[in-house]
Amino acid sequence: MEAPKQGQKGSFYKGLLTFYLIFLAIFFAAAPFLTLLLYAEADLSLSLLPQLIGFCLQGAFLVVVFSIYEKRSSLNSKRSHKFALRTFLSSFVTPCLEHGHSDDELISSPAHFAEGLDRLRGQGIEKRTVATLQKVAQQNVTSLESLTVLAAQIDHTHLEAWSTILQKSREIRDASDPKQSKEAIIQMLESILKFDELIIY
């Protein structure tokens, strides 16, 4: 429950910052026009109007630059979080889809991952692979739970996808029937593929 709270708290602060930036942009955009209206008949040589206009334009420019920088920084941070999460999930993917593609391809290309998943559906999963995945799930479920906070920092859709992956990993760990294990493995891989296909805004 802590991860969603932190995600909501982060979204609140981002919304507050966005509102503040919009307010500044409107203020700096309107200030020159209001000043011109108030001092339309004044002698500009005896007033601070030119300096005020310059200050407003500089402020508006700084607001725009800061907004772009904040957006780019946020996107880069979210992409780094997603790559770290996806790299961790490779311990589940590699034993199933190691033939034909490298780890880097399976992480960077959902198309390669989808191809391997289609072959796996058709050919089935070997007993040795099922045993390997159950061992991986036993070792990594706790880590998956702790990484939920990182998924929450991306957005709610990635958090939902990560929660599904976590649930399927628990089912793999706790499954006693081989058929249930194979179904849970396929469902988990499908959830990982959906996680890969999500777009970060």
Which three-class secondary structure state does DSSP give residue 190? Answer: helix
Question: How large a percentage of the chain has pLDDT more than 70?
Answer: 69
Which positions ≥6 away from 100 have C-beta within 8 Å? 116
| pLDDT value of residue 109 | 64
| pLDDT value of residue 169 | 93
Residue 2 pLDDT level (bands cut at 50, 70, 90) = very low
Number of domains in the chain: 1
pLDDT at 58 over 70: yes
| pLDDT value of residue 3 | 42
161 vs 60 pLDDT, higher one: 161
The mean pLDDT of 118-144, rounded to a whole number, is: 87
Report the interhelical angle of 127-146 vs 49-97 (nearest 10°): 150
Q: How far apart are CA 91 and CA 126, in angstroms?
A: 17
Which three-class secondary structure state does DSSP give residue 155? Answer: coil
Q: Which domain holds residue 7?
A: 2-197
Q: How far apart are CA 176 and CA 182, in angstroms?
A: 11
Q: How far apart are CA 149 and CA 33, in angstroms?
A: 46
Residue 149 pLDDT level (bands cut at 50, 70, 90) = very high
Select from 70, 79, 91 the least CA-distant residue to 150.
79
21 vs 188 pLDDT, higher one: 188
Q: What is the per-residue pLDDT across 88-119, written as a single tens digit (0 to 9) for each?
A: 988 888 877 755 545 555 555 667 777 778 88
Long-range contacts of 118-122 (CB under 8 A, 24+ apart): 120/96, 120/186, 120/189, 121/186
> In terms of C-beta density within 10 A (0-12 exposed, 13-18 middle, 19 or more buried), how is residue 132 classed?
middle
Select from 79, 56, 80, 181 the least CA-distant residue to 131.
181
| pLDDT value of residue 153 | 92
| Block residue for tokens 């941070």 | 77
60 vs 160 pLDDT, higher one: 160
pLDDT at 44 over 60: no
Residue 148 pLDDT level (bands cut at 50, 70, 90) = very high
pLDDT at 170 over 80: yes
Residue 122 pLDDT level (bands cut at 50, 70, 90) = confident
> In whole numbers, what is the pLDDT of the chain averaged over residues?
78
Stated as kind and residue range, the H or E segment containing 28 is: helix 2-38
| pLDDT value of residue 53 | 67
Residue 1 pLDDT level (bands cut at 50, 70, 90) = very low
